[in-house]
A and B are shown apart, each in its own frame.
Chain A
């Protein structure tokens, strides 16, 4: 019987059925970072447990690590303690740690693919909801809590209920100036922030066939913002070309065998999905959020919703709550909304191609007076290549601060935070209340080029106009 990739990977990793009906699932690859793992190591010590397969867990530091300090101890003693705690635990339990000193540190969802650890047909878990990113390679990858980190450390398995699969096909051609970020913001706005609850999303269609791995990662990354715990793209030649020659990729004869198995893991023609959604690429515009969840998005040419025109009671209440927080005017165009901060980075859009694309247009432009603009490469590797290509200089010359790798202002567990009710044009993934570090801080999510357009004009702008974008 034809099967989806999800079913094949699930079956290949099923250890056994548990008494409550869930599956004991083998977690092939386990990624950890400094924020959600220390308590798990504490539980391991309390229970006297050993790490079952230490060679299948990889660690790095990203959430808390400051992007403007390089030497320890860091100014924030709590952050310093958490990073040292992870270093100690990795040493104690024999886990590979991509520490800053290795030159391989970065946001965990950028490091995994970069090192070739993220591979098709695998299961990947990490104590971070954006683990769905790794699905871009045809892996089943999902976020877990700290107690489950303990489970994976101790047994390399976890208890999980099987997800349904929704195929989301995006066919046709994206307009110039429309990016992967716009695709996923559009999908979430269409299906809702909880539309994916209980599902894994299979992204497919002509747009995904043409997308680079980095574009696929941007989309899969935000699956969870649509409620889907996992999202994936079937592996193809683009996937294999990306992986070839990376440090942890199979080598020699193993490479050929691996590629053959990766090809075989893709969803079979004729397989049955629990749901199918089709989207026309031509309907997707550069998209920006106006509210307090990632589903509250509109085209840059659109107007801020008016609660008076809401169809349902719920919708009215949520628009009112969002606009009160965002201090935006119902019915006004979103374009022209003044910004205070521009943030380019995160596990959604902190990859080489994000900075490359922006640099193409940013050359010779200047960040508007009064706007604080920061660019944060997602990994030391990304930072290094940007430096080699002179991309960092383009950003610096334009008036951006160019930082060291980390999660930075996406969740502001580090010194990069909004102040007061500052409004941030952000390439990150969440616009929740207080997300960027100030209880009254405001976030508008958008693509990297739209962040650059906002930075140089000082307000939410249409990058196609600001940069005369004619073709992608």
Chain B
């Protein structure tokens, strides 16, 4: 199947600061009682965005200046915790197209890449620079060049790193591997036939 080649993501950004932002915070477990991912965007960061009575708390995503942002900025170990794909799904359904952070938890990173949502790593200083530019002028266009591993914003630029397997998959439009995996089916059968425990 033909997938979009994701070489760059451009849009406005919002900074959700903090380290170790876990998947329970991104999407609390009680909103995972669903048989499709549709509608998850509404519950993104729910417990840190909403009071018990449903009114808004102070949170960057509730700040009207950052409405419509498509790039999320955050800290170290973003997406740690559970393997729930509901977390990147909620981000994507909410409207995010990419995340720039100081680092990502392994499973979250893989899930996001498979959805075609680049997770790119930048230094703390550079994230602070982007955040400052966005804070000063929320309409600042932030451009992530996945291919060249750089980000440009408000006339400035910063280096980013994208894990090579993810970069390759994104820019060549093979981030959803199902087609390739199916092609490898006959080889998989051969490997399985050498493994005692896999016999039917």
Determine if B82 is an interface residue (Cβ-Cβ < 8 Å). yes
In the complex, the answer to whether A127 meets B103 with C-beta atoms within 8 Å is no
Q: Is residue A293 contacting chain B, with contact meaning CB distance below 8 A?
A: yes
Q: Which of A129, A150, A154, A413 contacts B32 (CB 8 A)?
A: A413
Tell me if A18 is interfacial: C-beta within 8 Å of chain B.
Answer: yes
Which residues in A have their C-beta under 8 angstroms from that of B37?
A: 39, 146
The one of A29, A154, A161 in contact with B181, judged by C-beta atoms closer than 8 angstroms, is A154
Residue A151, interface by CB 8 Å: yes
**In this complex, what residue of B is CB-closest to A226?**
B80
Residues from chain A with a CB closer than 8 A to the CB of B19 are: 314, 317-318
Closest B residue, CB atoms, query A194: B77
User: A55 to chain B: which residues have CB within 8 Å?
Assistant: 200
Task: Report how far A40 CA is from B138 CA in the complex, Å.
Answer: 37
A467 to B106, CA, bound (A): 40
Neighbouring B residues of A15 by C-beta, 8 Å: 184, 187-188, 191
The answer on a CB contact under 8 Å between B20 and A193 is: yes
Knowing A144-B107, A293-B80, A434-B24, say if A20 contacts B188 (CB, 8 Å): no
A16, B184: Cβ atoms closer than 8 Å: yes
B178 touches A151 (CB 8 A): yes
Our pick among B20, B28, B180, B185 for the contact of A293 (Cβ within 8 Å) is: B20
Q: How many A-B residue pairs have CB under 8 A?
A: 218
| Cβ-defined contact, A229 with B47, below 8 A | no
Q: Are B188 and A193 in contact (CB under 8 A)?
A: no
Residues of B within 8 A of A47 (CB): 178
Provide the B156-200 mask, 1 if CB < 8 A to any CB of A, else 0: 000000011110110010101110111011011001101111101
Contact indicator B181/A12 (Cβ below 8 Å): no
Of A14, A35, A128, A154, most buried by chain B (CB within 10 Å of CB) is: A35
Q: How far is the CA of A30 from the CA of B136 in the complex (A)?
A: 49
When distances are taken between beta carbons in the complex, the residues of chain B under 8 Å from A129 are 81-83, 107
Residues in B61-101 with C-beta less than 8 Å from chain A: 76-77, 80-86, 88
Contact between chains at A154 and B107 (CB < 8 Å) = no
Contact of A155 with B188 in the complex, beta carbons under 8 Å: yes
Residues on the B chain within 8 Å of A21, using CB:
164-165, 168
User: A330 an interface residue at 8 Å Cβ cutoff?
Assistant: no
Q: Which stretch (B2-10, B108-116, B147-155) binds chain A?
A: B108-116
User: Scoring A residues 37 to 81 as 1 if CB is less than 8 Å from chain B, else 0, what string do you get?
Assistant: 011001000010000110110000001100000000000101101
Is A258 touching B196 in the complex (CB atoms < 8 A)?
A: yes
The complex places the Cα of A148 from the Cα of B176 at a distance, in Å, of 9
The distance from the CB of A393 to the nearest CB of chain B, in whole angstroms, is 32
| CB of B86, distance to nearest CB on chain A (Å) | 8
Inter-chain contact A13/B191, CB cutoff 8 Å: yes
Task: Pick from A39, A76, A78, A257 the residue with the most CB of B within 10 Å.
Answer: A39
CB neighbors of B among A210-235 (8 A): 224, 227, 229
Contact A26 B188, CB 8 Å, known A145-B83, A145-B114: yes
B129 at the A/B interface (Cβ < 8 Å)? Answer: no
Min Cβ gap A16→B in Å is: 5
CB neighbours (8 Å) of A258 from chain B are: 196-197
User: B35 interface residue, CB < 8 Å from A?
Assistant: yes
In the complex the two chains form, what is the Cα distance from A351 to B178 in whole Å? 37
The reply on B132 being an interface residue by CB < 8 A is no
* B156 CB to nearest chain A CB (Å): 23
Q: Does A104 contact B (CB under 8 A)?
A: no
In the assembled complex, the Cα of A215 lies from the Cα of B41 at a distance in Å of 39
Complex alpha-carbon distance, A293 and B77, angstroms:
12
Tell me the nearest residue of chain B to A41, going by C-beta.
B35
Q: Which residue of A lies closest to B82 (CB)?
A: A129
CA distance A229 to B104 in the complex (A): 12
* Bound-state Cα–Cα, A340 to B198, Å: 47
Is there a chain A Cβ closer than 8 Å to B58's Cβ? no
Q: A83 to chain B: closest CB distance in Å?
A: 11
For the complex formed, measure the closest distance between the CB of B42 and the CB atoms of chain A, giving whole angstroms: 15
Question: Closest Cβ of chain A: how far from B24's Cβ, in Å?
Answer: 4
Q: Does A198 contact B (CB under 8 A)?
A: yes
Question: Given contacts A15-B184, A82-B33, A412-B30, is CB(A20)–CB(B196) below 8 Å?
Answer: no
Q: In the complex, which of the residues B22, B34, B115 has the most CB atoms of chain A within 10 Å of its own CB atom?
A: B22
Residues in B lying within 8 Å of A, measured CB to CB: 18-20, 22, 24-25, 28-30, 32-37, 47-48, 52, 76-77, 80-86, 88, 103, 105-107, 110-111, 114-115, 163-166, 168-169, 172, 174, 176-178, 180-182, 184-185, 187-188, 191-192, 194-198, 200
A residues within 8 Å of B by Cβ?
A: 12-16, 18-22, 24, 26, 28-29, 35-36, 38-39, 42, 47, 52-53, 55-56, 63-64, 76, 78-79, 81-82, 85, 119, 121-122, 127-129, 131, 142-148, 150-151, 154-161, 193-194, 197-198, 224, 227, 229, 250, 254, 257-258, 261, 293, 314, 317-318, 321, 411-413, 430, 432-435, 437, 439
List 19 other contacts, CB 8 Å, given A143-B107, A159-B181: A18-B180, A21-B165, A35-B32, A35-B33, A36-B83, A36-B86, A39-B85, A52-B185, A121-B197, A122-B197, A128-B83, A144-B83, A145-B84, A159-B180, A194-B103, A224-B107, A250-B197, A413-B32, A432-B25
A sample of 10 inter-chain contacts (CB < 8 A) reads A12-B194, A20-B166, A35-B33, A127-B83, A144-B107, A145-B83, A147-B115, A197-B103, A227-B77, A430-B24
